[in-house]
Amino acid sequence: MPLKIDELRTEYRKNPLGLDIPIPRFSWVLIGEGRNRTQTSYRILIATSKENLLKNTADVWDSGKISSNATNQIVYDGVLLESNTTYHWKVKVWDETDRESEWSEPAFWSMGLLKFSNWKGAFIGHDVGHNTLDKYDSLYLPPARYLRKPFVLNKKIKKATVYATALGLYELHINGKKVGDANFLPGWTDYDKRLYYQTFDVTDSLLEGENVIGAVIADGWYAGYVGYALYLRLDKVREFYGVNPSFMGQIELEYEDGSFEIIASDDTWKVDQGPIREADILMGETYDSRLEKTGWDASNYDDSDWHYPIMYPFPKGKLQAHPGTLVKNTERLTPLNITEPVPDTFVFNLGKNIAGFALLKVQGPKGTKVKLRFGEILKKDGNIQTDNLREARATDTYILKGDGIETWQPRFTYHGFQYVEVTGLPEKPTTDTITGIALSSIETNASTFSCSNEMNNMLFKNIKTTESANFFEIPTDCPQRDERLGWTGDAHIYVRSATYNADIAAFMTKFLVDLEDSQLWYGAYPNFAPFPFSRQHQYSPAWMDAGIIIPYTMYKVYNDTRILEYMYKGMEKFMQFQEDASSNYLRPEGGRNWGDWLSVNEDTSNDFIAASFYGYDALLMAEMAGVLGKIEKALKYAELFENIQKAFSEKYILANGHTTEDTQTSYALALYFDLYPVDIAEKGAARLAEKITNNGFKFATGFLGTKHVMLSLSKYGHNDVAYKIFQQTEYPSWGYSIENGATSIWERWNSYTKNDAVNSDINARMNSFSHYAFGSVTQWMFQCALGIDSEDSGYRNIIIKPAISKDMGFMKGSYKSINGIISSAWDWKENTLIMDIGIPVNTKAKVFIPSNNVSTLKESNISILELHNINILEVNDKETVLKIGSGHYSFSIRFEM
């Protein structure tokens, strides 16, 4: 059968609107029956209309038949692309026998506004002042602003496109309905550097006669409370970028008669306040339904008492299309139960710890005030715990209009929570009263995992829940307290794990732009990005290294060299900063030095951590420079790594393989970063295994060490020790949190026990229950336990080398790579090991069978020696190495008991 083509994407997204990348990239996934299926050629057609495309009239680009097996990172090579234009494309391929496929289903993308002259709108809004008449809290939380513009259509529309942005947050409306399904637009940037816009196709939303375009805008990250500035008691705690939010947009109309019209934001629009009396990301939202302006975003509305807007100057930042994935509703949760810890205070348990908000359904007298507060855990008395929210008020208020059943959800705030406390209800609630709405910028649907240990299965669910909650416009550290910043240390520690659970290519591309924008003038990357405020010590070793490690991960996972090119100049500047600060090739501590954050009973020196990450940076830079064809630079960084390795070994590694620090983290970092001399690395790994064994198979590590411990153990063959840690349930371990009711990954190993409200009063205010850093074990689960890895970048040459252990009865999982789904499973049937493997079309794999007894090795019950489409590459004392092509395989090997 010919190959089939699926999942056409442009710049990592399906049918994206409003790209401003002049030379976009394309990708697809191949599906084919049988084994050893490959693509040998492809042909892409691009046209300005779907009709032309279906007729194979490529009036934009016909690539011709290209001899290549590439299915991603395919670079456009046609005519110059134009603003506000939709392009349609399809692809066909030829397989290993030169058999031609059918054309794929058509896909499309549109270009945004590529020139400043394309923008006709102005930034408009109005100043609500700092002394509002209707204030519900001592905090200054201004109301949202409402904007509207009626316009008349007298001709038939062929196409209508809206381009919109805001300094602040906006929600767009046309003819009484919200436009699009995204939230928290236009996203968060360092606004002095850039501001993103969105593109919407609204052709089907317009009517003959009067139409209305409207927007609601709020402070958001631009003018609201951001980060933990209030907790730090900084002089400034909000309005870091600006004071008044403003909106800019335009609707571009193409009529069927060939004429065009643009309706843009200007001084003819009208503005007013409305029922959203407070709107702040951290503090919450207050909605007074008595003040609703019914029909404000539709025709035949009397806006005579509305005002004309203030015109604001264009921002300093460059206006660009949002390059990432937007925040959307990903799940609706019905409460598991309702409790009433004190009279008329009701607590709804949603069953897991999410980021999002609550949808309220209520009926009662006019003026009734219903208050919603949010918490991740409960105190002993059954009330929600809010101490760990610190200065985030995290409270939503709804005031009833008294008109039957009323439903409401906020627009411009979100919370991290499992429990919702509701007070002020006029009658006893039901589970319909509250619905949890989970929000995220990603979908955690790229992987599956299950094994014979139910605790580990719950761990996997908790990891995905926490990743979803924190990949919210940027990779935040936590979604609940007054922080929610893009901490760079957390991000790079977890990034490879994140790639297994979700397609984060576009999301992380956006974050790397934030990181590049935030790079400090002297070369260091900051502790978080975007970077709205600073304090002393703006950077930290092992945090700032995100500027090297995340781009490298993007290259390894997605074969993305364009992001390396984008980041390269900044990466070199960062390496120069480290070189200037180093002495004898050792990078000393500097900046804030968070160290191995939240380690247990062992402290690894800041100097050791700084020096080890400096070495790792050099190692990765050598590879990335080589990939980009910068041969002299590659040699320079390779030599730098050798010098760092030598100096590091002389200072920190003893002849017996011990480190001078003798901590779990020191061994894990030095081993994983290849800083050990080759001849004694095994001794270092043995000492790491010994320390963990002597510690009862428990960690003594924090954010930095934990990820690398099990990876290093498996790298040097100590899988048995890694599995014992993986299944541990005593403190400190993942199992400990699950035994104590965790539905997400905690910031601290001991954040909570069933017997305590929180572990200690000291930790109560620095205690997140949704913190993905310790979820970095995902990398070990897939790379080592399941054995899914890649020899090259982008999973074209796959490695299947599972760490098989009798401590685990079975394990199975899959990962949806950029080339398709890779699956790996292993199971014991008495003394026979079964390995089931799936390899996607157009890829090859090396499979490592943990036995050299080839005579008993079978595939689908046929001796491997009789199969000609499976090559035996090597047989050594420990294993048999096979080379296979695409398809599904079931290997079995019998072991003598």
SS3 content of the chain, % helix, strand, coil (to 5): 25, 30, 45
Residues 772/463, Cβ–Cβ less than 8 Å: yes
Q: Which tokens is 326 given?
A: 């937007």
Q: Rounded to an integer, what distance in angstroms lies between the CA atom of residue 756 and that of residue 745? A: 18
DSSP 784: I
Task: Look at the block and give the residue holding tokens 């490592």.
Answer: 848
Question: Is the torsion defined by CA of 69, 74, 75, 81 positive or negative?
Answer: positive
Strand-pair partners of 173: 178, 214
Cis peptide before 732 (omega within 30 of 0): yes
Q: Which amino acid is at 405?
A: I
**What's the burial of 688, exposed, middle or buried (CB within 10 Å: 0-12/13-18/19+)?**
buried
Residues 38/842, Cβ–Cβ less than 8 Å: yes
Torsion over CA of 500, 505, 506 and 509, rounded to 10 degrees? 120
- 632: part of which helix (H) or strand (E)? helix 631-652
CA 526 to chain CA centroid, Å, is 19
Q: What is the DSSP string of 572-585?
A: HHHHHHHHHH-BTT
Q: Rounded to an integer, what distance in angstroms lies between the CA atom of residue 164 and that of residue 322? A: 11
Q: Which tokens is 115 given?
A: 């020139």
Residues 842/30, Cβ–Cβ less than 8 Å: yes
Q: Rounded to an integer, what distance in angstroms lies between the CA atom of residue 425 and that of residue 429? A: 7
Q: Which tokens is 153 given?
A: 């259509």
Q: Which tokens is 321 given?
A: 């299309």
Q: Rounded to an integer, what distance in angstroms lies between the CA atom of residue 222 and that of residue 166? A: 9
Q: Rounded to an integer, what distance in angstroms lies between the CA atom of residue 775 and that of residue 500? A: 12
CA 769 to chain CA centroid, Å, is 18
Q: Rounded to an integer, what distance in angstroms lies between the CA atom of residue 411 and that of residue 414? A: 8
Name which of 762, 731, 769 is nearest 749 in CA terms: 731
Could you give the count of Cα atoms lying within 13 Å of 92 in the half-sphere of its Cβ? 15
Q: Is 406 labeled as catalytic in the residue annotation?
A: no
- The residue annotated as part of the active site, out of 278, 661, 747, 859, is 747
- The residue annotated as part of the active site, out of 391, 467, 483, 516, is 483
Q: Which tokens is 884 given?
A: 């296979």
Phi-psi region of 87 (alpha: psi -120 to 50; beta: other; left: phi over 0): beta
Q: CB neighbours of 480 closer than 8 A, spacing ≥ 6?
A: 355, 374, 376, 388, 389, 392, 394, 415, 416, 417, 768, 769, 770
Residues 508/558, Cβ–Cβ less than 8 Å: no
Rg of the chain over CA atoms, in angstroms? Answer: 29
Q: Is 747 labeled as catalytic in the residue annotation?
A: yes
| Burial state string for 810-836 with b = 16 or more CB within 10 A and e = fewer than 16 | ebebbbbbbbbbbbbbbbbeeeebebe
Residues 733/725, Cβ–Cβ less than 8 Å: yes
Cis peptide before 186 (omega within 30 of 0): yes
**What's the burial of 15, exposed, middle or buried (CB within 10 Å: 0-12/13-18/19+)?**
middle
Task: Look at the block and give the residue holding tokens 């974050």.
Answer: 511
Strands 415-423 and 369-375: antiparallel
How many CB atoms lie under 10 A from the CB of residue 854?
Answer: 15
DSSP 13: B
Catalytic sites, residue numbers: 483, 747
